[in-house]
Amino acid sequence: MDQTMVRFDEPYARTNDIAGKSTIRITNTGCKKRGFTVALAATASGHKLPAFVILKEPTGRIPPRVLKDLKVPHNVKVTCSFNGWMTTNLMESWLTRIWGPNEDDVRRLIILDRASIHRTSSLQEKLKDLDTDLVLIPAGCTGLLQPADVSWMAPFKSALRREWAVFIRNKQKTLAGNLKRPTRQDVIGFVSAAWEAVTEETISKSFKRCGISNALDGSEDGLFHTRLAEVNVGSVDNDITDELNEECVNLILDDDSDISFNGFSDND
């Protein structure tokens, strides 16, 4: 699972105009600074969990009148916070609403970055109740080891911009003649379509590209993405690395162990 900030205005980073112009006007609705958070999560099989949209609401709740008329697509869940950011309470809400209970009687593993809201004792207790082990990606390594960073976010953001561009091309105007700003309903639709555009194949491959695989014999190591494949792990004796790999796997997956894996410490 990973989170990203989304703006109500999502223009492309490039445009075309006459060569030599010193100023180029980018069409927008004036909502460049208005944003919200989207949390995306998926399983290694390629199954996408509903996108978790956290709107910014000054009162801390979506007005009942708005909520009543809001049409939420099947692949989106909507909530809010005062600043539109993920909070500890919302993270626990995400676990309840999106991650959900263990229905297959198989212990699960969730991989998160080292954000402070992912390291609270209450979150770890919640994960324990949901039969889920937590692995925290070491600081500075999300660009190498987090599937969302490596493979999902780029196509998701690209699809978001396409949806926004279609909205702008429709040129809906206010009574004053200005471009109509995207509503909550509009941006929820953007997120839904953009998340739908990320293929299951992209999702499933992303885990293997980050070295997250059940093939402990190394048979899928050739699927690493370029940056990860080029990492120099040093000339460590194979017997030592095999022993460490086995120890780590047992620590995470061994039900008979009295030790639970709670992620990496700040010194790791």
Cα gap 195→243, rounded to integer Å? 40
Confidence class of residue 147 from pLDDT cuts 50, 70 and 90?
very high
pLDDT tens digits, 46-68: 999 999 999 999 899 998 998 89
The more confidently predicted of residues 236 and 120 is: 120
- The DSSP secondary-structure symbol of 119 reads S
User: Would you say residue 229 has pLDDT above 70?
Assistant: no
pLDDT given at position 14: 65
Q: How confident is the model at residue 103 (pLDDT cuts 50, 70, 90)?
A: confident
Give pLDDT, residue 241: 45
Whether 263 shows a pLDDT value over 70: the answer reads: no
Is 60 exceeded by the pLDDT of residue 105? yes
Bigger pLDDT: 213 or 167? 167
pLDDT for 77 beyond 90: yes
pLDDT band with cut points at 50, 70 and 90 for residue 260 = very low
At 156, list the tokens.
């998701």
The more confident residue out of 219 and 180 is 180
What one-letter code names the amino acid at 60?
Answer: G
The Cβ of residue 217 has, within 10 Å, a number of other Cβ atoms equal to 8
Phi first, then psi: give them for residue 53, nearest 5 degrees: -95, 125
* Cβ-based neighbours of 262, under 8 Å, separated by 6 or more: 124, 134
Mean pLDDT confidence for 146-175: 88
Cross-strand partners of 48: 42
Give me the pLDDT at residue 218, please. 73
CA neighbor of 191 nearest in space, from 82, 15, 51: 51
Whether residue 211 is predicted with pLDDT greater than 80 in this model: the reply is yes
The vertex-205 CA angle with 203 and 209, nearest 5°, equals 120
CA dihedral 94, 95, 97, 99 (to 10 degrees): 120
Q: Which is higher by pLDDT, 46 or 230? A: 46
Judge whether residue 252 has pLDDT over 60. Answer: no
pLDDT of the residue at 85:
94
Tell me the three state secondary structure of residue 54. Answer: strand
- Tell how far CA 265 is from the center of its chain: 23
Report helix, strand or coil for 28: coil
Once rounded to an integer, what is the mean pLDDT over residues 84-106? 93
pLDDT the model gives residue 227: 63
pLDDT digits over 183-205, tens only? Answer: 999 999 999 999 999 999 999 99
Domains of the chain: 2-13+28-235 (3.30.420)
Query: Is the pLDDT score of 93 beyond 60?
Result: yes
DSSP 105: S
Residue at token pair 């279609």: 166
What pLDDT shows up at residue 17?
Answer: 67
Q: What is the mean pLDDT of the chain?
A: 81
Share of the chain above pLDDT 70, in %: 75
Pairwise pLDDT comparison (127 vs 172), residue with the higher score: 127
- H, E, C per residue of 151-196: HHHHHHHHHHHHHHHHHHHCCCECCCCCECCCCHHHHHHHHHHHHH
Residue 11: pLDDT over 90 = no
Q: Burial, 46: exposed, middle or buried (Cβ in 10 Å; 0-12, 13-18, 19+)?
A: middle
* Helical (H) or strand (E) element with 81: strand 76-81
The residue behind tokens 């894996």 is: 261
